[in-house]
Amino acid sequence: MTPANAAGQGVPRWQTLWVTRPAAEAAHWVSALQAAGWPARALPLIDISEPDEATARAALTRHRSHWWQNDALMFVSAAAVQHFFAHDVLPAPAAHSLTTRFWAPGPGTARALALALAGLGVSADRIDAPPADSAQFDSEHLWPVVATQLHRGAQVLIVRGHSPERHASRDDGLSGTGRDWLIQRCEAAGARVDACVAYERRAPVWSAHEQGLVRSASGADQLWLFSSSEALTNLEALAPGMCWSAAALATHPRIAAAARSAGFDPVIESRPALPDVLRALKSIEKHP
């Protein structure tokens, strides 16, 4: 059953709610949204894979082999957790005396960490994340939680993804992103910061069927769920020149700004957790 439209009539306002997360996450979200009565369909806008470059794979193997030597590991996403702990990760020599902290910018990453650490015999109480009532889940709201852990000479490892098409690196002009913002704060506190690539993000390769879906998904009866600015960048590249009159729900202010720039209207902001998204969906259903 689909929610009624804003006028209270029996005709659904939204014909489709497009979930743009990577395929594995999208499947879970589509199932949950459909169970809540929303006409959700998956159209992943980011493909996730193992690092392609040999140097990145070698660095990842090295960091997996002695991760406990870091004072803190910061995982940028659940995908970073899952790929870092996928295989070849050695348990700490003495898990009971482990001092390493594990940083997560939000609840999804924290849940993935708890599951991964349980397999290594590490307690979830070593995970740090923004409070559940935070206005947003990101690096900026993680920082007050972890700032006091740092000291001069502390070693922090950032476990992240990489987008080859965008040549992502610390020198690629992305200094406004949350990851680089956090790195700057750590270094200012005297910490040594290293990073490793646990996975790669790429634009998907669409079939003729998927290209047809997008052509029919730009109208005012369509609603898109965006959890990444990169997904929007990929959408614009995959559907150049498309005029969007569809609505969007974005899970961060930066993503919302990108959606507005692309032409989506209205754009509603939400925190990224599923209960928050469901509340925001009810709000956007009432939008005139």
Q: Are residues 93 and 191 in the same domain?
A: yes
> Alpha carbon of 273 to those of 27, 193, 224: distances in Å?
15, 29, 16
Same-domain pairing of 56 and 32: no
Domain boundary (167, 202, 237) is at 202
Percent of the chain with pLDDT over 70: 90
What is the 8-class DSSP label of residue 92? P
Count of CB atoms situated within 10 Å of the CB of 10: 7
Determine the structural domain holding residue 236 and report its residue range: 16-46+205-285
Q: Please state the rounded mean pLDDT for residues 36-58.
A: 94
| pTM summary value | 0.78
SS3 content of the chain, % helix, strand, coil (to 5): 40, 20, 40
Neighbours of 246 (CB within 10 A): 23
Q: Are residues 226 and 181 in the same domain?
A: no
Q: How confident is the model at residue 166 (pLDDT cuts 50, 70, 90)?
A: low
Residues 115 and 161 placed together within one structural domain of the fold: yes
Is 252 found in the same domain as 137?
no
CA 143, CA 38: separation in Å to the nearest integer?
35
Do 238 and 167 belong to one domain?
Answer: no
Residue 9 placed within a domain: no
Looking at residues 279-287, what average pLDDT do you find? 78
Q: Check whether residue 32 and residue 96 sit in a common domain.
A: no
Do 66 and 173 fall into the same domain?
Answer: yes
